[in-house]
Amino acid sequence: MSAAGEPRYLFLGVGGMGMAPLACWMSSAGYSITGHDACLQEEVRQHLEASGVTLRDFVFPEQLGEFTTVVYSSAVRAGHPVLDAARSLGLDCLRRGEMLARMAEGLRLVAVIGSHGKTTTTGMIAYALQRQGIEANYILGGLFADTSLAPSRYSKSPWLVAEIDESDGTIENFSPEHTLVLNLDWDHADYYGKAAQLETAFTDLSLRTRQTVLLPDGMDLKGLDEAKVVRYASSPEQDFNTNNARAAFAALACVSNNLPEDVLEDFPGIARRQELLLDREGLTVIEDYAHHPTEIGALMQNLRERASSRQLLVVFQPHRFSRTRQFKEGFAATLSEADACYLLPVYAAHEPLVEGGELADMVDVFKDSEPVVLESGLAGLKQVNQAAMSRPALLAFIGAGDIEDFAAASVALLREPDSVDGACLGFLEERLSPEAKIKLNEPLANKTTMRIGGPARIYAEPASFADLQQLLKAAQLFALDYFCIGRGSNLLVADEGFDGLVIRFSAPAWRRVETLGAGRIWAAAGGRLKEICGFAAKAGLAGFEFLEGIPGAVGGALRMNAGAMGSWMFDVVERVQFIDANGHYQDWPREKFHFGYRRVEEISRGIALGAVLKSPESEEESSIRSRIDSYSTTRKESQPRGPSAGCIFKNPEGSYAGKLIDEHGLKGMRVGAAEVSAVHGNFIVNQGGATAGDVIELVRRIRAKVKAESGYDLEPEVLLVGRSWPEVLKEGADV
């Protein structure tokens, strides 16, 4: 914890490959670092936590008073509510490169720049220094392939080795001691409209370099003082890693002399750079981060040599619409060297659609052989794997987006070709946190308030938002339907269970409730409504008392706008955090939602994650507790105590379901062990051993009786999981 007055940093997008190493380094250096990322990978999380970074699944504008500086990645979109609020509050808001430049001030920076190979070369330099016991700081822009090696290292040494990203223009903030230039190819057309602009950025950095500029043979940057230029051997005839190693040795000479020639002999490599995913008789699978035609061309040459007489299959995911438009002809030319080329949809990286940069535009420029466009799900996985298994092959997944997930899913399915479920679990094994739970064929009856139902085909309890994101990615890749539960009220699980993935918000992170100030609290999706009611009372916040009588969790209450005692959930909602129907994280004010009876449209099609709740007024805790006790007494007197799902039917317009059931003498009606409550007619109680079939048949009989004698159609309110009410009610009508 930083002392009062010391800077406190919030990293937005802390899981990014540039952000995470910087956050780790700053935390190790003693700075107070808190990080948030909606798509945090498990391996990155482990590095961040090992460095002392505090991680939060959710961050809100109301919490910005805790920080002095916000550092954000290029993946944070314009209009991000926290970033906008930070700016309006006058907080220092820095891009990743700007923050790194500040940290580099006063240090002897060895800057590694280039269009290709920066992370690998920086990793080589860092690895060699560590292996030789030479004290130096380093900050990578990626992860070592060896997960035991940290992506950054803090030292009291004056030396700092860091790769400098040119993509967003922050390169202009650096004035290195030494600069290592690897290569120069036009890229990032969204920022550098012309190749000359990128060359100028490299030249200007070299001009600001205080001592040595290391250039590869054959490269010239205009205006440099030749007295500070040192050349190192580099040849287009050599593979990238040979040239990277030569560059690394040139930079190492600036820090230390007489390094042994074999210092990089066992260099473990960088993750996602020609990473071997599977190697068995007849099939080798690799993944590589290449996303520029020059990189892909060099990679294809290497892959062709490795493939030898085997077929070379390539799956490519273009990265950004602007880059696809800029390089589509180059991509097509290099990828055509494969025996078969498969294309995944363009990874947008939060970039808006650019005319001429869509996948169809790239397909159109292939000349000799047309690529195969893949679905980014199970059908696409099976299509690629079938080709890879047809005869000996080298299968390569190439791209800088999320193709690593598709590649990992492909390998999982290759290992478990006869079991999609087994492949799914294999895919998730290294992606979920150790605290997460995942099982096959898990019974659901004991996870619902009605104590009825069959098993979930796959059952999971995510321990964090990052775990949830991985589960949803797996569901998309392996074509699994999913359903989310909290406490399990307002649910009836079919006897057959649920043929898909059931996600339960029961871990501590999903039951968090915290004060945001100014009469506001935040509650996560798995928080029990009764506990939130008590939390609010203790804080002197009135208006939440009605929640005491709702036997559910926040997520379900938001989904259906649950109510009791004349009040409704959205009476106290200010904002809701949820994943929408397209899989995107949203933070919406209550006014944006559309309400139906016991249904909030947008949340019903997505996943509620939590909500900011606001009290209409403050009050003494004793007064609030008095109302809670009164509501509790009323509830106990008017509702059954046995296992139930809550109200089974919606109230029809002009009447009440419970009243109609009572008037027609249906209290006590029973099918098997399912019985209409004698206390409240709109409850069906499990008297011990009831099945979903019992409840469904009882619902049919109640509906038929009420319809015949009053004309009212009673519609089920309880969600039927694993079947659908129209389906099962039609079955009854057809009998």
pLDDT(49) > 80: yes
Told to judge if 717 belongs to the known catalytic residues of this protein, a careful annotator would answer yes
Predicted pLDDT of residue 730? 84
Predicted pLDDT of residue 4? 56
Strands 108-113 and 178-181 turn out to be parallel
Q: Which of 227-231, 547-551, 586-590 has the lowest mean pLDDT?
A: 547-551
Q: How far is CA 468 from CA 621, 640, 678, 693, in A?
A: 36, 35, 41, 32
Q: How far is CA 432 from CA 145, 466, 506, in A?
A: 19, 8, 16
Predicted pLDDT of residue 110? 94
Catalytic entry in 442, 548, 602, 717: 717
- What's the CA gap between 510 and 526, in Å, rounded? 5
pLDDT tens-digit map of 299-328: 898 899 899 999 999 999 999 898 899 889
Q: What are phi and psi of 243, to 5 degrees?
A: -65, -40
CB of 392 within 8 A of CB of 385? Answer: no
Mind listing the domains of the chain with CATH numbers? 8-96 (3.40.50.720), 105-255 (3.40.1190.10), 275-415 (3.90.190.20), 425-508 (3.30.43.10), 512-636 (3.30.465.10), 642-734 (3.90.78.10)
Percentage of the chain beyond pLDDT 90 is 61
Beta bridge partners of 612: 522, 575
Predicted pLDDT of residue 428? 95
CB of 491 within 8 A of CB of 721? Answer: yes
Q: Which helix (H) or strand (E) holds 491?
A: strand 491-493
Q: How confident is the model at residue 1 (pLDDT cuts 50, 70, 90)?
A: very low
Predicted pLDDT of residue 264? 85
Q: DSSP code of 345?
A: P
Name which residue leads in pLDDT, 566 or 538: 538
Q: Which two tokens stand for residue 335?
A: 């990828």
Residue from 349, 356, 410, 350 nearest 378 by CA: 410
Q: How far apart are the first and last CA of the chain?
A: 68
| Mean pLDDT, residues 619-639 | 79
Categorise residue 13: left if φ over 0, alpha if ψ from -120 to 50, beta otherwise: left
* Residue keyed to tokens 């473990």: 268
Q: How confident is the model at residue 3 (pLDDT cuts 50, 70, 90)?
A: low
pLDDT tens-digit map of 444-481: 999 999 999 999 999 999 999 999 999 999 999 999 99
CB of 69 within 8 A of CB of 92? Answer: yes
- What's the CA gap between 248 and 381, in Å, rounded? 38
Percentage of the chain beyond pLDDT 70 is 99
Catalytic entry in 273, 528, 575, 598: 598
pLDDT(263) > 60: yes
Residue from 163, 197, 186, 7 nearest 94 by CA: 7
pLDDT tens-digit map of 63-109: 999 999 999 988 888 788 899 999 999 999 999 999 999 999 989 99
pLDDT tens-digit map of 484-498: 998 888 899 999 999
559-568: long-range contacts, CB 8 A cutoff, minimum separation 24: 559/599, 559/600, 559/603, 559/604, 559/608, 560/490, 560/598, 560/599, 560/600, 560/604, 561/595, 561/598, 561/599, 561/600, 562/490, 562/529, 562/598, 564/631, 564/635, 565/631, 565/634, 567/543
Count of C-beta atoms within a 10 Å radius of residue 143: 22
Beta bridge partners of 95: 72
Three-state SS at 472: helix
Told to judge if 424 belongs to the known catalytic residues of this protein, a careful annotator would answer no
- What's the CA gap between 137 and 103, in Å, rounded? 11
pLDDT tens-digit map of 567-604: 788 888 999 999 998 888 889 999 999 987 778 989 99
**pTM score:** 0.88
DSSP conformation letters of 252-283: HHHH-S---TTTTTT---BTTSSEEEEEETTE
Catalytic entry in 166, 254, 647, 675: 647
pLDDT(12) > 70: yes
Q: Which residues of 596-608 are buried (b: 16+ CB within 10 A; e: fewer)?
A: eebebebbbebbb
